[in-house]
Structure 1
């Protein structure tokens, strides 16, 4: 009775309808403190079928089994951390909606930054080499003479050459 009343009160709360649909009345623990802890933990665990929903939000049968397992562990006296560790040990770190920072997955967290830094360094090296190659050779005496000749020519003379073509 209390469990169904809790389900109805959640269904009536704004934004809580999806939670009330996923957690069935027969899953709700009689102890409100344990139920609150179960909801907190369930909100952190990924539904392995839906993948982008927590087990608290998912209607999948596997999510129900996981919710019941969380509640069993809490009733057995496990702390929230022990329940989370048990779930990770049993299903892998993929079960966590927010993966833990660890040595095993550090590359996944650091890889995008490494790619950006390596890309920026590559562009910098490429630009420097290009500038060095373009400006490294001095003009020969013949090229300097041609440049002086071109600079001495009248500006109107170039315009007439362009219009003739």
Structure 2
């Protein structure tokens, strides 16, 4: 019985111990000194999706992961990298989902083609119905 109590206590204690105790990354909440670099960083951060929140950009999210991503963006811009290179690195690391500006690839092409196909099918159906009405 005592062993069972210890096991149950350990199971409930694991989430408490697993809480993140590390401080946020330095540039997670601190802006860059150069206004032009900060503007480029903020513009890029608004174009990147928080992987934990999924409905917010990393600029708007308070999730620790978004803070780490903001830190990465700011330090890479501070190091002189271009925003598109940083976006490409993040997409390579986290997948296409991280970017609000999707690119055409082997996995995303149906997202771009299907709306055009649906419009084409709707136009053909409408054209045939109108043609049948004229002939009646």
TM-score by structure 2 length?
0.64
User: 1:4 — aligned with what?
Assistant: none
How much is the aligned-residue C-alpha RMSD, in angstroms?
A: 2.7
* Greater relative contact order structure (CA < 8 Å, 6+ sep): 2
Distance in 2 (alpha carbons) for counterparts of 1:91 and 1:26: 22
Distance in 1 (alpha carbons) for counterparts of 2:97 and 2:127: 38
* 1:78 aligned residue (78, 81, 90): 81
Number of residue equivalences? 109
User: 2:118 — aligned with what?
Assistant: 115
Q: 1:58 to 1:26 in 2, by over 3 A?
A: closer
Distance in 2 (alpha carbons) for counterparts of 1:90 and 1:84: 10
CA contact 2:29–2:67 (8 Å) conserved in 1: no
Distance in 2 (alpha carbons) for counterparts of 1:125 and 1:29: 60
Is structure 2 residue 44 aligned with structure 1 residue 41? yes
Distance in 2 (alpha carbons) for counterparts of 1:53 and 1:75: 24
Ranges in structure 1 where 5+ consecutive residues have no aligned partner:
1-23, 136-165
CA contact 2:32–2:74 (8 Å) conserved in 1: yes
User: 1:99 — aligned with what?
Assistant: 102
TM-score by structure 1 length?
0.54
User: Counting helix residues as a fraction of each chain, which structure ranks higher?
Assistant: 1
User: 2:10 — aligned with what?
Assistant: none
Q: Which has the larger radius of gyration?
A: 1
